[in-house]
Structure 1
């Protein structure tokens, strides 16, 4: 098996479970996009931006895969939706979604996955506090880019942008960051135990 891989940085949780190779990287990137597409269908309808589980998926994918693969996974997700696959919330797709009121959040997914992945490669995700800070940072990126996109798409003023694109999501964003922060450090411990048994 080839040792060529897309990950040049420090190992992440995925690297602890799977051997590094280009094939593995491609599968992991595609899997991250698929997980996000499934999470997009778990949503609460809300105008102009629905509440979805996508952000939780983005945080987990970024942390698990690392900066490069996490960002590529979210970029793949965006491209799949752009070309017509029904991967966005409510099985939607197309340029109207990507460049509409929710598009900024989707672009934010790419940066957020890269950021949480970069922090994971520096071991922020191995302890609850570091993981929580990492995932809160990723959530802030998603909200920030999402609100910019929302404001541009709807020509909304600052107050409207905050009411439509931030306030309804703050509690959910904190809860999702907390869930991710509880899951990833525990997953590291499990992976370490499995690895020790293999040795």
Structure 2
């Protein structure tokens, strides 16, 4: 009888591992498609057009959790490094390492950190209410802006980087924080919460 339970337990664990791997693979594919679509969707805004990519990064982290969210966003970045046209304005601006070494490279690397931190906060209950989800969105946005600013400052100088790489995005970031917080609360109350 003991052996029967041991064999049954091993079979369930094996099926559970297969299911988790399949779900993880599906998350990477769907997340990559979502990030690519959000990067290519430009919404007219002032002073610069707005994409939904940063909001998608944060929502992926909050929905999938720190580890899987980080893996999904890192896979997306690696796809771009391999030359796939997944980033905003690519391939017109070049692809691969050349794109990452350009002015947007710091923001793109910041995507990975923002997804991880957003997921970590969501795993600890942030994201259940509009205010807490808004806080997660603010933190994720600040991570991406800070990393993007740091890289841009390295390329063009501190003052110019702030004027071109931070200031134009503050208003659109605020809009995305509010919209992202609302979506995060809806996701937290849906079956998608089980991904974490």
Q: Which residue of 1 aligns with 2:107?
A: 105
Q: Give per-residue Cα distances to partners, 1:36-59, cap 9 Å, x unaligned.
A: 1111101369xxx97422101101
Counting matched residue pairs gives 175
Q: Which residue of 2 aligns with 1:39?
A: 38
Q: Give per-residue Cα distances to partners, 1:76-113, cap 9 Å, x unaligned.
A: 11110111110011233211111110010000000000
Q: CA deviation at 1:185?
A: 1.0
TM-score (normalizing by structure 1): 0.81
Q: Which residue of 2 aligns with 1:182?
A: 182
Q: CA deviation at 1:21?
A: 1.3
Structure 2: segments with no counterpart, 5+ residues: 1-13
The answer to whether the 8 A contact 2:60-2:69 is kept is yes
Structure 1: segments with no counterpart, 5+ residues: 6-19
Q: CA deviation at 1:149?
A: 1.5
Matched residues in 1 for 2:136 and 2:55: separation? Answer: 13
Q: Structure 1's 90 and 62: CA in aligned 2 closer, same or farther, altered over 3 A?
A: same
Could you say what secondary structure the match of 1:3 adopts? Answer: helix
Matched residues in 2 for 1:188 and 1:81: separation? Answer: 30
Q: Which residue of 2 aligns with 1:14?
A: none
Between 1:23-32 and 1:105-114, the stretch displaced more is 23-32
Could you say what secondary structure the match of 2:160 adopts? Answer: helix
Matched residues in 1 for 2:162 and 2:153: separation? Answer: 9
Q: Are 1:4 and 2:17 an aligned pair?
A: yes
Q: Which residue of 1 aligns with 2:21?
A: 22
Query: Which structure has the greater CA radius of gyration?
Result: 2
Structure 1 runs of 4+ with >6 Å offset: none
Q: Are 1:95 and 2:109 an aligned pair?
A: no
Q: CA deviation at 1:163?
A: 0.5
Q: Are 1:191 and 2:191 an aligned pair?
A: yes
Alpha-carbon RMSD: 2.3
Q: Which residue of 2 aligns with 1:8?
A: none
Q: 1:144 aligns with which of 143, 146, 149?
A: 146
Q: Structure 1's 50 and 109: CA in aligned 2 closer, same or farther, altered over 3 A?
A: farther
Matched residues in 1 for 2:188 and 2:129: separation? Answer: 9
